[in-house]
């Protein structure tokens, strides 16, 4: 029985998951779970980075104390784009900012003044989003940030945690690819963009591929945690990169949807796809394990989660299951939102924001919790249809099936709505997609699994899935026409 430990940091929580491989099946057990609660200081929004590292160490110690000292490796994945800066002596300079911090407002336009958007896209193949690393760094540059001036190395969040454990400074490819600073074809830093933006090239370290052993626990960490010099493996460190590894697809043509706080909907490609269609439709080419993830980044379940947070805060404690049952009883197709509208980007007052969007666009305003949730779920499913149709225009063939992996695959209502909206089967699972992909990459690095194809067969054999068939497609077609008219009218 080979054991490896996966740390999966999401936007609102993290966990340590132990993977046990017996040669034919993979089993998971959660060792440690913790909250990931960002901190507002003044007008700035930060990740509580040292607390998150403390929780990582707690996870290792819990693993050791539970009789699993014999783990063969560990890997770390997180959300994309965010980073820490180190001094020349290796100290962390300040706290890493949260991607929802307001400092990037107006930075896309500022970047265009230094380099045309089409040229940036031609280099990187990455969709324009104000939270991208490029725009975070540019905001620091234009503000004459002393931290940026002092910086000797930039490390993305999983690489930063690995550095705290090993002392090694590396930049893993899949997480670096989210930055909009990597050349999509060479898989190296884009000197062209870095120089045009006025960044110091020395802060960008060597790129390594997923499946590389980056280092081992330092003596101090080994003594503190009670475990030998454990190897830290660079998995597909972008959580979506790990999640896509776990898609149990057997056919050649399919699309995937990694569903959680964000929704990442796309296909895998051997090479980056960078042309007028992908630029105009704002599709992204992120790095994967020996592949390119051509995808659309969609707001996802964030709006639903924020609505629940708002209701919880007011004392109306309802579970997600209860909210979805209320939504199912509400009237269909009364109003729609564009889930990617800037109105929904920042936290707080989300039910009111849904109502404001509907009021602003001349639609019926949902008043009950069930009506708000139904509006969000239907709109998200229809957004997926738009994303799939855009993909089909780019790749030139009809996508026959959609695989949904991740926490959102447990949302029965959304999965059925998605099948209805896209008029094709939806296959869901595994739920623990990111941790499974993380573990699978470690198994490949350790020589236990030969390649991605073998890993996916292992995943298919080890974890169940559920298929949703389309229903009421004529009604959903009519709703889609109404939805697209509303969005076009209010661009």
Active site residues: 239
The count of other CB atoms within 10 Å of the CB of residue 185 is: 15
> Do residues 123 and 183 touch, judged by C-beta distance below 8 A?
yes
Instruction: Report the chain's terminal Cα–Cα distance, integer Å.
Output: 55
Strand, coil or helix: 296:
strand
Please choose, from the candidates 335, 355, 330, the residue with its C-alpha nearest in 3D space to the C-alpha of residue 343. Answer: 355
**Helix, strand or coil, per DSSP, at residue 221:** helix
Please report, for residues 300, 336, 339, 355, the alpha-carbon distance to residue 363 in angstroms, rounded to integers and kept in the order given.
Answer: 22, 8, 15, 9
For residue 5, list its beta bridge partners.
Answer: 18, 74
SS3 158: helix
State residue 33 phi and psi, 5-degree precision: -135, 145
CA–CA separation, 439 and 246 (whole Å): 10
By the 8 A CB rule, do 350 and 344 touch? yes
Place of tokens 């996508």: 399
Least Cα distance to 420 among 383, 384, 473, 466 occurs for: 473
Question: Strand, helix or coil at 426?
Answer: strand
Cα–Cα distance measured from residue 25 to residue 332, given in angstroms and rounded to the nearest whole number: 42
Q: Where are the beta strands (DSSP E) in 260-349?
A: 263-269, 284-287, 292-298
| Nearest-angstrom CA–CA distance, 191 and 327 | 50
Q: What is the DSSP letter of 78?
A: B
């Amino acid at each position: 029985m080979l054991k490896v430990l996966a740390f999966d940091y999401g936007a609102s929580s993290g966990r340590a998951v132990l993977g046990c491989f017996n040669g034919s099946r993979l089993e998971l057990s959660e060792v440690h779970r913790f909250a990931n609660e960002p901190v507002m200081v003044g007008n700035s929004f930060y990740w509580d980075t040292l607390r998150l590292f403390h929780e990582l160490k707690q996870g290792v110690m819990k693993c050791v104390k539970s009789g699993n000292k014999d783990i063969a490796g560990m890997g770390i994945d997180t959300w994309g784009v965010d980073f820490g800066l180190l001094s020349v002596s290796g100290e962390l300079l300040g706290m890493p900012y949260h991607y929802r911090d307001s400092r990037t407002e107006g930075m896309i336009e500022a970047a265009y003044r230094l380099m045309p958007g089409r040229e940036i896209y031609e280099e990187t193949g990455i969709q324009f989003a104000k939270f991208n690393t490029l725009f975070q760094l540019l905001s620091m540059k234009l503000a004459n940030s002393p931290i940026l001036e002092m910086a000797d190395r930039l490390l993305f969040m999983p690489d930063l945690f690995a550095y705290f454990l090993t002392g090694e400074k590396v930049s893993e490819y899949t997480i670096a690819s989210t930055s909009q600073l990597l050349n999509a074809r060479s898989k190296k830093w884009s000197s062209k963009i870095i120089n045009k933006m006025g960044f110091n090239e020395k802060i960008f370290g060597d790129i390594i591929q997923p499946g590389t052993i980056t280092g081992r626990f330092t003596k101090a960490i080994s003594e503190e945690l009670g475990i030998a010099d454990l190897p830290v493996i660079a998995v597909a460190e972008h959580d979506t990169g790990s999640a896509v590894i776990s898609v149990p697809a057997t056919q050649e043509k399919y699309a995937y949807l990694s569903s959680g706080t964000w929704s990442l909907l796309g296909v895998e490609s051997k090479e980056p796809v960078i042309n007028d269609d992908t630029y105009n439709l704002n599709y992204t080419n992120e790095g994967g394990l020996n592949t390119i993830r051509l995808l659309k980044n969609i707001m996802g379940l964030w709006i639903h989660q924020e609505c629940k947070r708002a209701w919880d805060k007011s004392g109306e404690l309802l579970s997600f299951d209860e909210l979805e049952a209320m939504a199912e009883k509400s009237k269909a197709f009364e109003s729609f939102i564009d889930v990617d509208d800037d109105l929904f980007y920042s936290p707080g007052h989300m039910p009111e924001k849904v109502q404001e969007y509907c009021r602003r666009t001349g639609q019926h305003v949902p008043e009950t919790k069930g009506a708000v949730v139904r509006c969000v779920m239907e709109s998200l499913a229809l957004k997926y249809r738009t994303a799939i149709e855009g993909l089909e225009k780019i790749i030139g063939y009809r996508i026959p099936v959609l695989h949904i992996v991740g926490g959102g695959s447990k949302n029965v209502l959304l999965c059925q709505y998605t099948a209805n909206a896209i008029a094709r089967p939806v296959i869901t699972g595994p739920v623990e997609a990111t941790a499974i992909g993380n573990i699978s990459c470690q198994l490949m690095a350790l020589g236990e699994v030969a390649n991605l194809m073998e890993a996916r067969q292992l995943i298919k054999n080890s974890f169940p899935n559920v298929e949703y068939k389309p229903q009421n497609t004529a009604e959903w077609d009519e709703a889609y026409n109404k939805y697209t008219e509303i969005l076009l009218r209010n661009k």
